[in-house]
Amino acid sequence: MTTSSAKPPPPAPDASPAKSAPRGPLVELGTGAAWIIGLGAVCQMASVVLHSNPLAVIMVQAVAVDLAVGRAGLKWDPDANDNTATERRNAMRGIGIGAGVALAVLAAVLVPSAALGWATFTAHGPTTSLALGGMRAIAIGVRDAQLLAGLPIYFVGRAMRASPRWRASDEAPRTPFARAGGVPMAAAVVFATLLGGAAIALMPAATPANVALAASVTGATAALWNRDGAGWGAVGLLGGWTFLAGALFRGGLVDVVWRRGALAPGVVADGAPAWIASALFLAVAVLTFVVRARPAPASDPAGAAG
């Protein structure tokens, strides 16, 4: 008499959706480059279409960049987890720090410039240009902080996490020179610095001094974003610098007449004042790698939502 053993039933098919293969570091870096190039083209199109209204150009560019980078996954303050109270507190602190850095650099150049006779100052009452300059500065801060600083930081962080050599560790993953897949976060700051300089270098009135100043301002902005894992300090520095060195000291409240060089955002800057400010902003960028900010979540080296 033979006994037959029943075959076990076949396993039920897995009903869960198949997970897509993770993208490699080069794909992440390429995606980030595509976002930056694409948004740069959108900004250029806006400047062509609305060339008769410079303030409208900057406003449209800021809104377009803010909406687009949100689609890319970048957030102003991912560590706040959409907590409004926390975001408000972080925003006030970060914007204050960034604007304070801009004010300190401006004062460190203007005071000796006045003492050496490089510049003279004439104060007067506030004008309407001050309010318009404030709106312009906010829009430039929002646009450039995300486009030139936030996106490089975000996608280099994604490339780090996509690397097979990335491993969770007790070390704070936002440590600037911690490598994963051969890509340090400091490389994102360097790349942002080059982007800021390139934006000025392509203009007809570009000089080595104003290119260096634009690059160092953007580098300090990116370093603050990398340090904090949020964009508040970055937008505070960029917006504050644009307002203080631009609208406030160029007719909004004080008129500065330069006898040697010039200091202002953009191509107006030149000579020794621009070089001194460039060195100071570069020092700020370096110091942010030494002075640590609040600890980052272990799963997010870039400090941005993925």
Asked whether the beta carbons of 119 and 258 are under 8 A apart, the reply is yes
Distance CA 248, CA 23 (A): 46
Distance of CA 167 to the CA centre of its chain: 27
Does 21 reside within a domain? no
pTM of the complete model: 0.81
pLDDT at residue number 8:
57
Does 12 reside within a domain? no
Distance of CA 273 to the CA centre of its chain: 24
Does 294 reside within a domain? no
Q: pLDDT digit string (tens) for 199-253? A: 899 888 899 999 999 999 999 999 999 988 889 999 999 999 999 999 898 888 8
Q: pLDDT digit string (tens) for 69-98? A: 999 989 898 877 778 888 889 999 999 999
Q: pLDDT digit string (tens) for 17-64? A: 444 455 777 888 888 889 999 999 999 999 999 988 999 999 999 999
Residue among 210, 218, 227 at smallest CA distance from 97 = 227
Does 23 reside within a domain? no
Total number of domains constituting the chain: 1
Does 301 reside within a domain? no
Does 183 reside within a domain? yes
Does 270 reside within a domain? yes
Give the number of other CB atoms < 10 A from CB of residue 237. Answer: 33
Does 276 reside within a domain? yes
Domain coverage including residue 219: 28-287
